[in-house]
Amino acid sequence: MSEQTLDGALTDYLAVRRSLGFKLTRDGLLLRQFVAFCEQTGANRITSEVALAWVTSPAKASPSWLNMRLSMVRGFACWLQASHPSTEVPPRGWLPPVRRTTPYLYSEADIVALMAAAQRARWPLSAATYETLVGLLAVTGLRIGEAIRLDRADVSLVDGLLTIRESKFGKTRQVPIHPSTVENLRSYLRRRSTLSPAPSEPALFVHPAGNRINYEAVQGMFRSLVQRIGLTPRSERCRPTIHGLRHTFAVNTLVGWYRDGVDVQARLPVLSTWLGHADPKWTYWYLSATPELLTLAAQRLEDSLGRLP
């Protein structure tokens, strides 16, 4: 396969995946680098040797980053092999398995403290924005990127609904919110209107300058809030992150269902849809997230077995 054909094959591959709803912004950039690497090494087809050389080329890269690079190359190679049998699919066993980070689960007191710390931000609009953002993430389980992308038009205070547009895999969903959350959002919008009467963007959450908040600013602010209230890592793999608010929401929902005696297995697809997971299997992971959940699930299983003849 010539370099032009390999490059063209990648263009076709990305077009097919994107037509299915995958954005592939990062994947596209990295796979272009991979194809360029193949060109530099004189390879006119994908081989395991070339793939391994590219995957492991970054110095001091984390195991998760290397596994992600390998997964992307494997996906492209599997697709290409159907039309070009000489394509080699690099095996998974090259790299050690990546252990998932242990979710940092926040207590109700932690979340209250984070919101209180946000109130003490230097700029009044930043204080209102981050206090409301932390609270919204805690009670809805939204991804931080989904919250950042919210526009004012995506918030229906009358119906109590958030419209999450073009999230992972290009999907759009609606998330109902509690009347207390509606009132807090209404209060934030009034405060924001006073502090920034004519924002330059339609965004819901804005900086003091009126522009939409961005991921880097949110991460920096959240690290600052964590330090202010004295939260520390529970282990090397369990650190307080903003994504932990999403984990906390999911785990608390499951714990509540178990305690209420509902059929958790039947409800899991509902939680999966709420969280915007492409497949319920990603929601099942939360069942093993905490000892309390494991204990409740085990007790449920024991009770079911005890009722068997």
Q: Report how far residue 104's alpha carbon sits from residue 13's, in angstroms, rounded to the nearest whole number.
A: 37
- Annotated catalytic residue within 104, 106, 130, 143: 143
- From 69, 192, 212, 246, active-site residue: 246
SS3 content of the chain, % helix, strand, coil (to 5): 60, 5, 35
Residue 120 annotated among the catalytic residues of the structure? no
Look up residue 118 and give its two tokens: 């946000």
Instruction: In whole angstroms, give the CA distance from residue 78 to residue 121.
Output: 50
- Using DSSP's 3-state secondary structure scheme, residue 37 falls into helix
Is 168 tagged catalytic?
A: yes
User: Are the beta carbons of 199 and 210 closer than 8 angstroms?
Assistant: yes
Does the annotation count 207 as an active-site position?
Answer: no
Dihedral, CA atoms, 215, 219, 225, 229, nearest 10 degrees? 140
191 given a catalytic annotation:
no
Longest dimension (CA), the chain: 69
Active-site residue identified among 104, 106, 188, 286? 286
**Alpha helices, H only, 20-150:** 25-41, 48-55, 63-81, 108-118, 124-140, 144-149
188 is catalytic: no
Catalytic residue among 23, 168, 228, 300: 168
**Catalytic one among 45, 243, 267, 300?**
243
Residue 104 annotated to the active site = no
* C-alpha Rg value of the chain to the nearest Å: 23
Residues annotated as catalytic are 143, 168, 243, 246, 277, 286
